[in-house]
């Protein structure tokens, strides 16, 4: 066979090979990532009774990623001037939000009494903090931050730009030092400063699920919880593994004439996929904000047995 014939035959083989691969691909369907790859339903970045927010999840594009997994979304970008913080010390953390035109955003709406909520947690979900930075005239936000232990921390900026939809952007900050991952076994009861908080309800992927937190102290129900950021409690859920973010608002509001000040605080949460989630409840009583921590999975309620808390349940607030 001459050279021309050989090349022609080789080209025909390539056409058949690529044509067969294309046909197989179209028969299977498009490649997808995230929760939809497992046939799961999308969730939302924020949720709450009568206070739902948009932000669909699960899909192949950035716009459909769960909240907090990207530093850029819908034209908004989170950038920080701080990349490392010395473990055990309190240092200023500064950052900006730039808009679709590339300039710093300086106008924000107020969401639960604050224009900016900053959630900080180590990637093993230890060291939770809920902070509220202050913004300078140039759009630079600054807040004192203390990272207790070495490791990589995820910082979530939760905000609503004026005239826009709510956003949650995330980036990593490092605390140089030895990293000792903390186990987080399943837990539905948390102990903190003499308070006991019990979690009832079951998370279901892609469905709005009622979750009730019951607060007691020294064995007695707490019926005089105090408003914290215009609510009796705030719940943050993080999917273990990638820290997909969900900020859940409670049903009802202080002073509405129908929402009791404890002992129960009810939320409706819609998690983006099946898996294990870390839940952090901020509540205020006797002038102090405390954090109760839980580890729960999706699935039948009888598969989640109450377990002792995995730590002291302490979080930090700014």
Tokens 């109450």 identify what position? 306
Which is more confident, 194 or 11? 194
Residue 104 in tokens: 């710093």
Which domains can be identified in the chain, with CATH numbers?
56-175 (2.60.40.1930), 189-317 (2.60.40.1930)
Model-level pTM greater than 0.85? no
25 vs 226: which has the higher pLDDT: 226
Q: What is the rounded distance in angstroms from the CA atom of residue 308 to the CA atom of residue 190?
A: 7
> What is the C-alpha separation between 162 and 21, in angstroms, rounded?
48
Between the alpha carbon of residue 210 and those of residues 4, 63, 98, 122, the distances in Å are 71, 27, 35, 27
- CA dihedral (184, 186, 192, 195) in degrees, to 10, reads 180
Q: Please write the tens of the pLDDT for every residue from 282-293.
A: 999 999 999 999
Nearest to 108 by CA among 163, 171, 53, 183: 163
SS3 112: coil
Question: What is the band of 24 on the pLDDT scale with cuts at 50, 70, 90?
Answer: very low
């Amino acid at each position: 066979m001459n050279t021309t014939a050989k090349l022609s035959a080789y080209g025909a083989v390539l056409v058949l090979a690529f044509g067969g691969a294309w046909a197989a691909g179209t028969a299977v369907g498009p490649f997808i990532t995230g929760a939809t790859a497992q046939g799961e339903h999308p969730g939302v970045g924020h949720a709450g009774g009568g206070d739902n927010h948009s932000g669909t999840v699960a899909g192949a594009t950035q716009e459909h990623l769960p909240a907090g997994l990207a530093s850029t979304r819908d034209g908004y970008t989170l950038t920080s001037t701080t990349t490392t913080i010395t473990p055990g010390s309190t240092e200023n953390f500064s950052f900006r939000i730039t808009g679709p035109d590339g300039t710093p955003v300086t106008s924000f709406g107020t969401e639960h009494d604050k224009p900016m909520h900053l959630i900080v947690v180590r990637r093993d979900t230890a060291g939770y903090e809920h902070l509220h930075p202050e913004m300078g005239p140039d759009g630079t936000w600054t807040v004192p931050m203390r990272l207790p232990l070495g490791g990589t921390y995820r910082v979530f900026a939760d905000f609503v730009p004026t005239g826009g939809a709510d956003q949650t952007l995330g980036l990593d900050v490092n605390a140089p030092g030895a990293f000792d991952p903390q186990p987080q076994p399943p837990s539905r009861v948390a102990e903190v400063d003499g308070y006991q908080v019990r979690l009832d309800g079951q998370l279901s992927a892609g469905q709005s699920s009622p979750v009730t937190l019951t607060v007691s102290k020294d064995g007695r129900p707490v019926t005089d919880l105090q408003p914290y950021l215009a609510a009796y409690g705030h719940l943050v859920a993080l999917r273990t593994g990638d820290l997909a973010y969900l900020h859940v608002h409670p049903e009802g509001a202080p002073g509405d004439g129908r929402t009791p000040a404890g002992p129960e605080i009810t939320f409706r949460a819609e998690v983006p996929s099946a898996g294990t989630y870390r839940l952090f409840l901020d509540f205020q009583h006797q002038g102090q904000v405390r954090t109760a921590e839980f580890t729960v999975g999706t699935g039948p309620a009888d598969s989640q047995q109450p377990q002792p808390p995995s730590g002291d349940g302490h979080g930090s607030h700014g």
